[in-house]
Amino acid sequence: MTTKNMKRRVLSVFIICYLSFFTTACGSSVIGQTDNSHQKNSHPVKKGPFQAVEPTQQNIDKLLAEGPGIYAGNKYDKKKVEQEMLKVKNAPARVQYNKMVELLAEDYTDAKRYYENFDTSIGQMTAPPDAKGGSTETGSSSQANKQKVNVEILLDASGSMNAKIEGKTKMEMAKEAINKFLSSLPKEVNVSLRVYGNKGSNKPADKAVSCQSSDIIYPLQPYDSASFNQAITPVKPMGWTPLARAIQQAQTDLQSETGAKNIVYVVSDGVETCGGDPVAAAQALHASNIQAVVNIIGFDVDDAGQRALKAVAEAGSGKYATVKTAQDFDTYFENEKKVGLLDYLFWANKNYDKSSEIAMKKQTEVVNTSVATFNKVSNEFNRMIDACQVIHPDDILGCSGELGQLINNRYELLKNWNDRMEQKVWWDIQHNWDRFNERVSRQLDEGTKTP
């Protein structure tokens, strides 16, 4: 036997014995072992030979806990890793993989604990309002999941609104009260202003013209002080009172607002004078697909007028109130914010805000953790590929064969685990967010239900 053949025989026997030793020591779920006894005391060393687990799905929990490796994270030292890998350059792929894990595996136990213990709850609703007064906060609100609110004012511009009370005309008082009310609403509330009886005069000769007058002068949109004042300032008391026509056209103004809370406020100092049927108009408006509520504010109206206007409000499932002074106006609109429908809307939007803030903050936190964990998985993978290329410099694919497959399997398992955990926690938060908002919506519907 030649010297060359003798060397091959000795090497073969050595490799067989080497593999036999590790197979016996590791068992079926362990890839290989490397003896840590040669490591310097400056590195944390686990007792006994390091044993990497097979990178399979059933071993995912063990895979997550294999780190931290000696040179993982910010302890990474490329030269020292290369020196260690060269010691196993001629060893089987599984022994080489074992050494890589021992040196470079990241520690994912914190991420695992974070995902498994994350609090996905949204919290509890605040107490709903009651007849003794509720929330009047009108701060900024997120649009997501909110109940849309539309408020339309129908302002009587008939000639009688020119009468004076306390040194001001009824029209001047009405303008001031309306402006004050609308400016205090949450910025998400859309408002519109329609005037009626604003053309011709209250003389018989102009009745036909006046009774046809009903104009939207501030179309449905968020309240803007400058634009609204520009629209309402020129309005003057002029003609007759086509109340029914104004209510009918309010239905046209809001016809696309299905699913929203639509509230109509009629400010008038008298009854219908153009032959229309405001009771029928209010009833039809409320029965339509926009289900608007019609509230009537009677301004210095006599007893007969009050009864007539109250019937209109009842037909529109709203309320009737009489005001006689500027203070009465202010009190009425302030009460609209404190008690009743608007109060429930403020309460609901506040809770929608609360749930949005909590849920979005938690979901963002989970996504950030997922990104950080993915970066850790990617760094580990790239460092293992670099280590592979040290011992396989002639591999044009960088790291193919059995070792490359082991590294890739590990990467895919860790990456997929991170993706699954992120999605699970994210959707648990979303589910709880949806349930929270459903509870708020049910309470809102119950609190604003028409008797």
CATH code of residue 212: 3.40.50.410
Check residue 254 and give its pLDDT: 94
Q: Are residues 96 and 162 in the same domain?
A: no
The pLDDT tens digits for 241-276 are 999 999 999 999 999 998 788 899 999 988 999 999
The pLDDT of 37-63, averaged and rounded, is: 71
The pLDDT of 162-171, averaged and rounded, is: 88
The pLDDT of 311-329, averaged and rounded, is: 87
State the CB neighbour count (10 A cutoff) for residue 116.
Answer: 10
Domain-embedded: residue 251: yes
- Residue 412 CB contacts under 8 Å (≥ 6 apart), including other chains: none
The pLDDT tens digits for 75-94 are 999 999 999 999 999 999 99
- One-letter identity of residue 176: E
The pLDDT tens digits for 186-218 are 788 899 999 999 998 889 999 999 999 999 999
CA 225 distance to own-chain centroid: 29
Distance CA 198, CA 156 (A): 8
Stretch among 16-25, 90-99, 194-203 having the lowest mean pLDDT: 16-25
- Residue 296 CB contacts under 8 Å (≥ 6 apart), including other chains: 265, 266, 268, 309, 310, 312, 313, 318, 319, 320, 321
Reported in sequence order, the residue ranges of 47-170 that DSSP labels E, i.e. its strands, are 50-53, 149-156, 164-165, 168-169
On the question of pLDDT at 391 being above 80, the answer is yes
First to last CA, the chain: 108
Question: 125-135 burial, b if ≥16 CB within 10 A, otherwise e?
Answer: beebbeeeebb
Q: Are residues 70 and 197 in the same domain?
A: no
Domain-embedded: residue 430: yes
- Confirm if 30 and 53 have CB atoms less than 8 A apart: yes
pLDDT band, very low/low/confident/very high, at 149 (cuts 50, 70, 90):
confident
pLDDT above 70: percentage of residues in the chain: 82
Check residue 84 and give its pLDDT: 95
Domain-embedded: residue 191: yes
Q: Are residues 183 and 286 in the same domain?
A: yes
Check residue 135 and give its pLDDT: 38
On the question of pLDDT at 322 being above 60, the answer is yes
Q: Residue 185 carries which DSSP code? A: S
The pLDDT of 299-312, averaged and rounded, is: 90
Check residue 342 and give its pLDDT: 67
Q: Are residues 296 and 221 in the same domain?
A: yes
Residue 86 vs residue 400, higher pLDDT: 86
Domain-embedded: residue 100: yes
The pLDDT tens digits for 377-386 are 999 999 999 9
Distance CA 322, CA 32 (A): 90
On the question of pLDDT at 350 being above 70, the answer is yes
The pLDDT of 50-68, averaged and rounded, is: 92
Domain-embedded: residue 227: yes
Total structural domains in the chain? 2
Domain-embedded: residue 421: yes
Distance CA 121, CA 354 (A): 12
Domain span at residue 364 reads: 23-118+360-377+386-391+403-445
Reported in sequence order, the residue ranges of 244-319 that DSSP labels E, i.e. its strands, are 261-268, 293-299
**3-class SS at 385?**
helix
On the question of pLDDT at 437 being above 80, the answer is yes
The pLDDT of 37-43, averaged and rounded, is: 41
The pLDDT of 25-52, averaged and rounded, is: 51
On the question of pLDDT at 395 being above 60, the answer is yes
Domain-embedded: residue 142: no
Q: What is the mean pLDDT of the chain?
A: 83
pLDDT above 90: percentage of residues in the chain: 56
